Amino acid sequence: MIVEPKIRGFICTTAHPDGCAKHVADQIAVVKSRGPIENAPKRVLVIGSSTGYGLSSRIAAAFGCGASTIGVFFEKEGSEKRTGTAGWYNSAAFEKEAKAAGLYAKSFNGDAFSDEMKEKVIEAIKADLKQVDCVVYSLASPRRQHPKTGEVFKSVLKPIGDPFTNKNLNTTTKVVDEVSIEPASQDDIDQTVAVMGGEDWEMWMDALQEAGVLADGVQTVSYSYIGPEVTWPIYTNGTIGAAKADLETTQKRLDEKLAPLDGKAWVSVNKALVTQASSAIPVVPLYISLLYKVMKAKGTHEDTIEQMDRLFRERLYGKAEPQPDDHGRIRIDDWEMTEDVQSAVDEAWKVVDTGNLEQFADLEGYESSFLRLFGFGLEGVDYGAETDPAIGVPSLGE
């Protein structure tokens, strides 16, 4: 099959197997170019390991730390007629590269929110690794079925209290228009917290701890975002922010539970980047394209792999220590949040419109990052050639 991008709003419905493989290989090259990470964990579980921050975490753990990795994700395999999802091809490529490097890698495809998935992963840890030293929790999902009650929760991106109106970039038409969103109901807030808050992270950690598969000194990390004031009504002070606040409460509880193991739970606040999850958030794509322009000009731009490499190398396991903020959070959004970057983005935000978009926004950077998520636009890939969309993820035996 010859695979081309088919973009529908903020999603691309096709993915290129060879392009995804190149995307993974490029990320591995970034980590390897920085040398091995010392004092590194050797057995790492990544929940949400197929795309975005989770994929980069798995790559940093394997190719920076030399770790055996178990990855959990929810992706679709391809067939002769239809391409699979990018996360499927990323995971296939990751496993191939890990095997070639002599690294253990096992993957699980299915619902991470379920009890069944937790049991399967625990069995694999017991059988193959005995214990894990690090657990990365990087799920981003629009829905969650509660494993005990069967209730299905849906997350929404809405402000809390007042309606919110601000500039918004239509990434398809390249028009800067306005978006207005009505405030969330209490039920919206509760449902979003149930999907993206800390309950499932805690359920994973409880299950792993009860099964005795967490090693002494285990660390666990989950990801959050804060960002600038222009996005606060829709992010930090909105429904998703309520879920992230719940994640922080959970982190403190996990710290207490892990104390007997000398373990530590972290929330790491990461940089705003183009991922499948973030491109769906109103206002955020405009902010990201202004931010990319400013950070690239300053030479401080990072993608998910540079962020995750820095998290493992310098904060979780590095000599520089985690350097938590006043709330105990790791801040690898530090370069995004510097005064000079934020004031430059703020100035641009005030004046940007459809006519001057090219001047202030890194539209090309936004678009190429978005396409790269699905394996398109990568150097060295022959997009005119036939490719096999039905490749399998080796450890899944499909």
* Count of beta carbons in the 10 Å neighbourhood of residue 339: 7
Nearer to ligand NAD, 41 or 54 (CB): 54
The distance of closest approach from Cβ of residue 155 to ligand NAD in the complex, given in angstroms and rounded to an integer, is 10
Using alpha carbons, list the distances in angstroms from residue 352 to 176, 288, 360: 8, 13, 7
Integer Cα distance of 227 and 224 in angstroms: 10
Q: Write the DSSP symbol of residue 266.
A: E
Task: Give the one residue of 69, 83, 278, 369 binding ligand NAD; rule: CB under 6 A.
Answer: 278
Stretch that binds ligand NAD, among 11-19, 134-142, 150-158, 167-175 (CB under 6 A): 134-142
If the CB atoms of residues 148 and 319 are measured against ligand NAD, the closer one turns out to be 148
- Contact call for residue 285 and ligand NAD (CB under 6 A): no
Nearer to ligand NAD, 130 or 252 (CB): 252
Provide CB contacts within 8 A for 292, sequence distance 6+. Answer: 301, 361, 362, 365, 366, 369
- Catalytic residue (choose from 235, 287, 292, 366): 235
Binding mask 36-65 for ligand NAD (x = CB under 6 A): ------------xxxxxxx-----------
Cβ neighbours of residue 48 under 8 Å, at least 6 residues apart? Answer: 54, 72, 73, 112, 136, 137, 138, 139, 140
Task: Restricting to residues 246-275, name those near ligand NAD by CB under 6 A.
Answer: 270, 272-273, 275
Which residues are 170's β-sheet partners?
175
* Phi then psi dihedrals of residue 85, to 5 deg: -85, 160
Closest residue by beta carbon to ligand NAD? 52
Binding residues for ligand NAD restricted to 322-341, rule: CB under 6 A:
none
The nearest distance, CB 269 to ligand NAD, in angstroms, is 7
Measured torsion, CA atoms of residues 294, 297, 302, 303, in degrees rounded to the nearest 10: 80
The DSSP secondary-structure symbol of 82 reads: S
**Amino acid at position 49, single letter:** S
Q: Is 369 in the site for ligand NAD (CB under 6 A)?
A: no
Q: Are 378 and 22 in contact (CB under 8 A)?
A: yes
Compute the distance between CA of residue 202 and CA of residue 200 in angstroms, rounded to an integer: 5
Task: Collapse the DSSP code of 54 into the 3-class scheme (helix H, G, I; strand E, B; otherwise coil) and give the result.
Answer: helix
Name the one range near ligand NAD by CB under 6 A: 28-36, 132-140, 187-195, 340-348. Answer: 132-140
- Check: CB of residue 224 under 8 Å from CB of residue 241: no
- Taking the complex as a whole, the smallest distance from the CB of residue 386 to ligand NAD amounts, in Å, to 27
- Token match 């975490």: residue? 57
Contacting ligand NAD within 61-100 (CB under 6 A): 72-75, 87
Q: Which of 27, 68, 107, 138 binds ligand NAD (CB under 6 A)?
A: 138
| Burial class of residue 41, CB neighbours in 10 A (0-12, 13-18, 19+) | buried
Nearer to ligand NAD, 63 or 235 (CB): 235
Which parts of 217-246 interact with ligand NAD (CB under 6 A)?
Answer: 223-225
374 scored as a contact of ligand NAD (CB under 6 A): no
Residue with the two structure tokens 């109103």: 282
Choose the stretch contacting ligand NAD; rule: CB under 6 A; options: 14-22, 36-44, 133-141, 183-191.
133-141
Q: Is 235 a catalytic site residue? A: yes
Q: Which of residues 15, 98, 139, 332 is near ligand NAD by CB under 6 A?
A: 139
Which of 98, 208, 214, 277 touches ligand NAD by CB under 6 A?
Answer: 277
> Which residues would be at the binding site for ligand NAD (CB under 6 A)?
48-54, 72-75, 87, 111-113, 138-141, 223-225, 270, 272-273, 275-278
Catalytic residues, which ones? 235
